[in-house]
C-alpha cells in the first residue's frame, strides 16, 4: 500500500517537470525562429514532443481533439526534419 501512495504522489511532480521542460523547448524554438535559425527552431520544437505536457495516463482515443492535433503538429515537424536531413545527407 505504501508504494502505491508514493507513486501517486510522484505523478504530479513528473507532470510539472514535463510541462516546464516542454515550455523551455518551445520557447527555445521560438528564440531560434526569431533569430532566423529555422533548422534549430524546428529541431527544438520536435524535441519538445518528448515532454508531453498533457496527462499521459489518458489514452490517445480519449484525448480532446485539440490535444491530438497539437501532438500531430509536433510529429509532422519531426518528419519534416527527417526529410530535410535525408535529402541533405543522401546526395
* Tens-digit pLDDT string for the chain (91 aa): 444 444 454 467 788 888 999 999 999 988 998 998 878 888 888 888 888 888 878 899 999 999 999 888 888 877 877 787 787 777 6
The domain segmentation of the chain, as residue ranges, is 2-90
* pTM of structure: 0.67
Helix 38-47 with 2-34: angle, nearest 10 deg: 170
Amino acid at each position: 500500500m505504501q508504494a502505491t501512495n508514493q507513486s501517486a504522489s510522484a505523478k504530479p511532480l513528473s507532470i510539472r517537470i514535463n510541462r516546464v521542460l516542454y515550455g523551455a523547448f518551445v520557447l527555445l524554438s521560438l528564440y531560434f525562429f526569431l533569430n532566423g535559425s529555422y533548422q534549430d527552431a524546428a529541431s527544438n520544437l520536435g524535441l519538445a514532443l518528448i515532454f508531453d505536457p498533457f496527462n499521459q495516463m489518458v489514452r490517445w482515443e480519449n484525448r480532446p481533439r485539440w490535444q491530438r492535433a497539437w501532438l500531430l503538429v509536433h510529429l509532422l515537424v519531426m518528419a519534416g526534419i527527417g526529410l530535410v536531413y535525408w535529402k541533405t545527407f543522401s546526395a
